[in-house]
Amino acid sequence: MTASGTSGTKGEIENLRRSERVLDHLGAFVTKGVTLEPRLGNPQQRLVETRTGCINSIGLQNSGAKVFMAEELPRMAAYGLPLIVNISAGSVEEFGQLAAFLSERDTGLISGLEINVSCPNIREGGMAFGTNPKLVEKIVKTVRKATGGRYVIITKLTPNITDITVPARAAIAGGTDALSMINTVRGMAINIETRKPLLGNVQGGLSGPAIKPIGLAMVYQCFKSIPECNDRRVPIVGIGGITYWQDALEYIMAGATAVGIGTAWFVDTDVFAEIATGMQSYLKKHNFTIEQLIGIVHRVNG
């Protein structure tokens, strides 16, 4: 899957169809975060490259739910992929309103909603939700109720917390169908010539290769200690720093059932194809099915 916010809203990814490799190797398209009202996002500069990834503070810039449903979603439907809409809001009630708005206007184009309770870049809500288990449970319940069980609900968790299993369990208590992890890790960068922070928002979220071990450990932890994850009633989408097919396999072996890719795709538009074909070759070489590999590291270690 694409990782939310990294593959455009205006058909950017489809422009790469010419290479015949991009959409063919994706299992689903996850949209940029959508909010009820349009958002201008944070002040520039909003993206900084680091030695091992990037830090962004986009601040959920988007055209709002109305334009999304009227213009962007129909365009994305042309990709021919299951569409998962990443949603953000400033309160529990607003999450409910947004989910209801999307559901009421959806003509069958949306397959699932990914609830972003983990954005580090907005002042109201965002990550503050994701670190409060009571709120996580309430948001998931509210979204599920507002959509009448019509969609697969994925809850996206923040790594900026001591124990990720706490919000994970709360999302499950609220009725999430799946979990995705991780969102970005809080970070910053300073321009030593101006002696000022590089990002307009001062701090942002780190993504890319630097965060892979963090995401991997969190998937491992949830799979190991949460029964619903372990028996895959609540599957995990592993996200964070996946750059090569080996990274994707590590996530699968730690317990992920699917993977999401963001920053790597900024660098190499062939990344989806390379990861999919690399994994297939590994399975063939070692005579495994992907099913057999999900969480295998737990079984090997007893």
Ligand X SMILES: Cc1cc2nc3c(=O)[nH]c(=O)nc-3n(C[C@H](O)[C@H](O)[C@H](O)COP(=O)(O)O)c2cc1C
Residue 120 sits in the site that holds ligand X (CB under 6 A): no
Stretch that binds ligand X, among 100-108, 164-172, 238-246, 278-286 (CB under 6 A): 238-246
* Cβ contact 94:34 at 8 Å: no
Residue 9 sits in the site that holds ligand X (CB under 6 A): no
Q: How far apart are CA 211 and CA 278, in angstroms?
A: 21
Token pair belonging to 65: 């739910």
Query: Least separation, in Å, of the C-beta of 88 and ligand X?
Result: 7
Residue 176 sits in the site that holds ligand X (CB under 6 A): no
Subset of residues 206 to 235 that bind ligand X, contact rule: CB under 6 A: 207-208, 211
Comparing CB distances to ligand X, the nearer of 3 and 13 is 3
Residue 112 sits in the site that holds ligand X (CB under 6 A): no
Which of 54, 119, 222, 229 is flagged as catalytic?
119
Site string for ligand X, 64-93 (x = CB under 6 A): ----------------------x-------
Based on the number of CB atoms within 10 Å of its own CB, is 249 exposed (0-12), middle (13-18) or buried (19 or more)? buried
Residue 42 sits in the site that holds ligand X (CB under 6 A): no
Q: Which amino acid is at 95?
A: F
* Cβ contact 222:165 at 8 Å: yes
Of the candidate residues 234, 261, 279, 294, the single one contacting ligand X (CB under 6 A): 261
Q: Is 54 a catalytic residue?
A: no
Residue whose beta carbon is closest to ligand X: 5
Residue 158 sits in the site that holds ligand X (CB under 6 A): no
Query: Least separation, in Å, of the C-beta of 33 and ligand X?
Result: 3
**Beta strand pairing call for 196-197 and 47-50:** unpaired
DSSP 24-89: GG-S-EEPPPB-SS-B--SPSP-EEEETTEEEE-----B-HHHHIIIIIHHHHHTT-S-EEEEE--
Q: Is the dihedral of CA 108, 62, 256, 259 positive or negative?
A: positive
Report the interface residues with ligand X, using CB under 6 A: 3-6, 32-33, 56, 58, 60, 86, 116, 119, 156, 183-184, 207-208, 211, 239-242, 261-264
* Residues annotated as catalytic (active site), given as ranges: 119
